[in-house]
Amino acid sequence: MANDHRNYRYFDLVMVAFVVILVCSNLIGPAKAATLDLPFIGAVTFGAGVLFFPISYIFGDILTEVYGYARARRVIWTGFAALIFAAIMAAVVVSLPPAPGWPNQQVYEIAFGNAWRIVGASMIAYFCGEFVNSYVLAKMKVASEGRNMSLRFVASTVAGEAVDSTLFYPLAFWNSGIMPNELVLTLMVSQFVTKTLVEIAFLPLTTRVVRALKRAENVDHYDRNTDFNPFKIKT
């Protein structure tokens, strides 16, 4: 039920894991483009954050599948608040006058000076992508009466990641001077493909965690009467 106010044993742990991964993957990874030479494929260029960012989508799937869209929505907003604080902290630290003789101000500005643009792009992209992911998953669960969980996870992730990837890299880096626009487009496509593949690779673990949580929490939420307005915080 949408107004279920029970206290769950593991909900807070899942929320903390989600927020930590969201903040770290958005502030540490996106500004670096990496290239790996993969067997049978060759050189693949991708944003470094793509290695860890998909895990936040996995936790989003877990939250929606086990606890429902309304609780997942509150966790998403918690993550946004954490991103805002991290961006403010980065801006303050970068703007503080460096001590005489301290040689790393330029390095700090390169690493964190674009935090506002990156975080702004991330918030827009993730807001749209994660809510699309949760909405599709919740609706598919109700329509299928809880069957085909793996298919629902993949389908919702494809929808969410398509929105996220299309928005994030152009908003964060197009004409930014950090990387050429051609590389931005390359990263946008590779990010979508890689994140979807990571979701598929983690499916066995994700489904096991979901089933274990459902048993431990004695809950299997169906969003039959849920208000899907993303701006409504109350469950």
Spatial distance between the Cα atoms of 36 and 42, rounded to a whole number of angstroms:
8
Instruction: Output the pLDDT for position 217.
Output: 94
Q: Which of 53, 121, 68, 37 is nearest to 235 (CA)?
A: 68
58 or 210, which is more confident? 210
Mean pLDDT of the chain: 84
Rounded to the nearest 5 percent, the helix, strand and coil shares of the chain are: 70, 5, 25
Please, is 125 exposed, middle or buried when counting C-beta atoms within 10 Å of its C-beta (0-12, 13-18, 19+)? buried
Residue 95 has pLDDT above 80, yes or no: yes
203, 53 Cβ separation under 8 angstroms? no
pLDDT tens digit string along 52-61?
777 888 888 9
Type and span of the H or E element at 87 = helix 69-95
Domains of the chain: 11-96+106-217 (1.10.1760)
138, 64 Cβ separation under 8 angstroms? yes
Q: What is the separation of C-alpha 212 from the centre of its chain, rounded to a whole number of angstroms?
A: 23
Least confident of 48-52, 82-86, 193-197, 202-206: 48-52
pLDDT tens digit string along 25-60?
777 765 676 787 878 777 877 667 667 777 888 888
Spatial distance between the Cα atoms of 17 and 157, rounded to a whole number of angstroms:
18
Instruction: Output the pLDDT for position 29.
Output: 66
Type and span of the H or E element at 10 = none
3-class DSSP string for 41-85: CEEEEEEHHHHCHHHHHHHHHHHHHHHCHHHHHHHHHHHHHHHHH
Least confident of 89-103, 179-193, 214-228: 179-193
Using 50, 70 and 90 to split pLDDT, how confident is the model at 2?
very low
